[in-house]
Amino acid sequence: MVSVPYDLLLMLQRRGAISFDKTDKQAVYVRQLGDVRIQASRQDIIHQYILNSLQPSDRKCLQNLSSPSYRTRCGSRFLTLGGMKRRKRCRTNPGVDGQSLVDDFYTSSTSCLLDRTSDWSFDVFQLNHSSNGRPLLHVVLKLFQQHNLMDHFNLDIVKLMKFANLVEEGYHQNPYHNVIHAADVTQAMHCYITQEKIARHLSPLETMIALVAAITHDLDHPGVNQAFLIATSNHLASLYKNNSVLENHHWRSAVGVLLESGLFDHLPMAVRNNIIKQMKSLILATDMTRQQEFYTRLKVCLSVCLLLPCHFL
């Protein structure tokens, strides 16, 4: 909490004064220091005082965040670039009295497509068409049920649907980094973790973390790369100190969606902290500028596996 000096408060308590300023022969200016003007001045002065008391880096971040060129126009919970188009939420087979039922989401064609989620040739574009523009929601519900995560972790289906809806809202209408891409990566992650040599070493918790990370790995992607954000002094670049800017933002956005949906609120605190930690590791690993680093670490791991019993072989 920032304390305001006493003399500043006294100055803000002026009431009712009227002054006349004759600056030239053509005009007379009247300034009334009434309650309305004082109220606005009080807020401006206190805001400027607080702004001046911040560190230079924090002040720059707040100024960029409040700038009209960076302020999001959609008024959502996400703060990337202003003016980005977000996907419109599509209605899917409303049930009785306009309420959507879980069973109503699976039309015959959609159900047939979802039965092939374990195939590498899975057509996510056909699913997007069949599901009326909601491929991610259908993939999430299908895979969480297929991996028995609902029963194992006692998850609430309503909270899971709320989580999926919030994630869908967080993806922009980008040419590539959109909700279809998120569904595609999630389905690909499912194919990876169901491989025999990998699946037998994964716990149910690790399986769920891998799926959630895939679902949210590009959440609120602005459609530009890190170099653009840094070059344009975007507030995200300042916030994350030009280090894995997008990936850090995707992870933070994913944590916010999880907290808002309450999907894991019933789990012990230690488990929730572990989920957030492992999600960070997975999502930050999608930084393309660090791929050579990860590739080198993988080669070292494989070379060690040739000498020692390998974890996956």
Q: What is the mean pLDDT of residues 117-146?
A: 95
Number of Cβ within 10 Å of residue 14's Cβ equals 11
In angstroms, rounded to a whole number, what is the distance separating the alpha carbons of residues 266 and 272?
A: 9
Place of tokens 């005082």: 49
> Is the pLDDT assigned to residue 123 strictly greater than 80?
yes
In angstroms, rounded to a whole number, what is the distance separating the alpha carbons of residues 308 and 311?
A: 9
Tokens standing for residue 117: 């989620």
Active-site entry in 177, 190, 221, 250: 177
Residue 298 confidence (pLDDT): 85
Number of Cβ within 10 Å of residue 274's Cβ equals 15
Residue 33 confidence (pLDDT): 45
Q: How far is CA 75 from CA 66, 71, 178, in A?
A: 13, 9, 19
Higher per-residue pLDDT: 95 or 217: 217
For the question of residue 311 being annotated catalytic, the response is no
pLDDT in tens, 133-167: 999 999 999 999 999 999 999 999 999 999 999 99
Kindly state the helix (H) or strand (E) to which residue 17 belongs, with its residue range.
strand 17-21
Residue 4 confidence (pLDDT): 54
Residue 253 confidence (pLDDT): 96
Q: How many CA atoms lie within 13 A of 234 on its CB side?
A: 23
Kindly state the helix (H) or strand (E) to which residue 21 belongs, with its residue range.
strand 17-21
In angstroms, rounded to a whole number, what is the distance separating the alpha carbons of residues 69 and 85?
A: 15
- β partners of residue 32: 18
- Please give the full DSSP string across 28-55, using - where no structure is assigned: -EEEEE-HHHHHHHHHHHHHHHHHHTS-
pLDDT in tens, 32-68: 444 444 444 555 666 666 667 666 766 666 666 555 5
Q: What is the mean pLDDT of residues 234-259?
A: 95
Q: What is the mean pLDDT of residues 299-308?
A: 75
Residue 98 confidence (pLDDT): 42
Binned at pLDDT 50, 70 and 90, residue 22 comes out as very low
pLDDT in tens, 66-110: 555 544 444 455 655 544 555 555 444 444 444 444 545 556 788
Residue 28 confidence (pLDDT): 44
> Is the pLDDT assigned to residue 126 strictly greater than 60?
yes
Report long-range pairs for 289-294 (Cβ below 8 Å, ≥24 apart). 289/226, 289/244, 290/244
Q: What is the largest CA-CA distance in the chain?
A: 95
Residue 30 confidence (pLDDT): 42
Asked which of 51-55, 233-237, 244-248, 278-282 is least confident by mean pLDDT, the reply is 51-55
Binned at pLDDT 50, 70 and 90, residue 294 comes out as confident
